[in-house]
Amino acid sequence: MKDAIIIGAGITGLSTAHHLSKRACDFLVLEKSDKVGGVINTVSEKGFVYEKGPNSGVIGNVEVIHLFEDLKDYCQLEEANENVKRRLILKNGQWEALPNGLKAAINTPLFTLKDKFRILGEPFRSRGKTPHETLAELVKRRMGQSFLDYAIDPFILGVYAGDPNRLVPKYALPKLYNMEQEYGSFIKGTIRKAFIKKTDDEKKVTRGVFSVKGGLSSLVNAIYDKIGHKYVLLESSDIKVIPHDKHFVVSFKNNENQIVEIETRKVISTVGAYEIDKIAPFIDKEVLPKINALHYTKVIEVVAGFEKWDGVKIDAFGGLIPFKEKRDILGALFMSALFNGRAPKEGALFSIFMGGVRRPDIYQLPDIKIIEILKNEMSSLMQLKEFNPELLKIIRHEHAIPQYEADSGSRFKAIEETEKKYPGFFIGGNLRNGIGMADRILQGKMLADAALN
């Protein structure tokens, strides 16, 4: 009899395991892959260090701070270089820096003069009254069309690869939604929150971009090492959970293809919404579709590494491309500008993204066509005379990013009803509580707390 079984050894599952381990809980993590980390996967090749999954995280809550403090003997936090403060937006085929101050905001060509004046009235506009108002509707109402087109839309492409006309701030950007509801204005809210007294830990939450020395795999491997390898069973397939009396029976095939059954008091799922029906077939048939119908967008990531870079100067976080610009890529992260040691000294490393909610056709294209698109776009946007990278990897993410759209409320309610009906069964993962790495780390703490109550 185990105290808890965690299904999935991604960042959420490992974070949960970390907190259970700190409190002497007898737990076990089951992972279908032959490695920990889920989609996190750092590769070193030809003098480049690149990620095949998430490229970075944000120091967005105290749980991130605490995790790295706990792991200080196992891995080292790496904050992004100063270049991260400069973010480029494409307009009319030219890169423009996103304003980061009043003077820059006045002079930027990204926004219309009408909307620059309009923003002065933002504190005096009334609160939204429609809970399922889309992000596009919210931004146009408070800030204007050009802010939607050349600030919010590229931001959403960079985070969600999504569509502001479908994402609902109440679920996708709850802090933004709550700021308007609580303070009546983004500007008022920002000013008032600046005067709220912070604890010493909260002062460390810089919202800076981070990775780990050696890449993000070093983070998940550090948690794996700290909790102990014996508490994680890799290559565990066909995992199924069955409620039994006041506990659960979890069955799976181990790496020798033997069927194993374990009894446990608590089960914590961290798998994607599309896998819930497989591991928890006991969930009510009326409730299940509300959970596993979550829309995941498909994204292609192309890693391109150049031993000697002779294109435009790359001194920014990256470049994002508004949908209005009608290009075939969503944008690019300038990874070698963000973190040291990601490319040879005179070289450059990029992560370029394609597809997303509004371009599902791109995902269906063969690799040869993807390379052709990449060559045309990079040559044009980055002023390359010749597109001939020493490193070129095409990575397809079928379930890249969950879209928190209007149906999210019913999904959250269905999860709560399921957890209430089957006490001891907890549903985590990116189908709730946010999609960022900081969100996943925080949720791991929340899941551990809930399981130990």
Range of the domain at 221: 2-38+217-294+404-452
Verify that 359 and 434 share a domain, yes or no.
Answer: no
| Angle, helices 11-22/217-227, rounded to nearest 10 degrees | 30
What pLDDT was estimated at residue 100?
A: 87
pLDDT, tens only, 87-144: 999 999 999 999 988 889 899 999 999 999 999 999 999 999 999 999 999 999 999 9
331 within a domain of the structure (yes/no): yes
CATH number reported for the structural domain that contains residue 338 in this entry: 3.90.660.20
Nearest to 256 by CA among 230, 237, 275, 281: 237
Task: Say if 65 falls within a structural domain.
Answer: no
Q: How many residues does the chain have?
A: 453
Report yes or no on 79 lying in a domain.
no
Q: Cα 211 from chain centroid?
A: 13
Q: Are residues 256 and 374 in the same domain?
A: no
Q: What are the respective helix, strand and coil percentages of the chain, to the nearest 5?
A: 40, 25, 40
Q: What is the structure's pLDDT at 102? A: 81
| Residues 6+ away with beta carbon under 8 Å from 415 | 291, 427, 431, 432
Q: Which two tokens stand for residue 267?
A: 């089960």
CA distance 284 to 334: 46
Same structural domain for residues 129 and 192? yes
**pTM above the 0.75 mark?**
yes
Element (H, E) at 21: helix 11-22
Domain boundary among 200, 234, 267: 200
**Ranges in the chain, pLDDT < 50:** none
Domain boundary among 383, 402, 421: 402
Interatomic CA distance for residues 433 and 170, integer angstroms: 12
Q: How many CB atoms lie within 10 A of CB 383?
A: 11
CATH no. for residue 416?
Answer: 3.50.50.60
> Do residues 84 and 384 make contact, with C-beta atoms less than 8 angstroms apart?
no
Give the largest Cα separation in the chain, rounded: 69
The sign of the torsion formed by the CA atoms of 60, 61, 65, 70 equals: negative
List of residues 6+ apart from 241 with CB closer than 8 A: 7, 248, 249, 250, 267, 269, 279, 280, 282, 425
d(CA 429, CA 272): 6
**Partner residues linked to 304 by β-bridges:** 350, 392
Is residue 191 one of the residues assigned to a domain?
yes
Instruction: Write out pLDDT tens, residues 372-418.
Output: 999 999 999 999 989 999 999 999 999 999 999 999 999 999 999 99
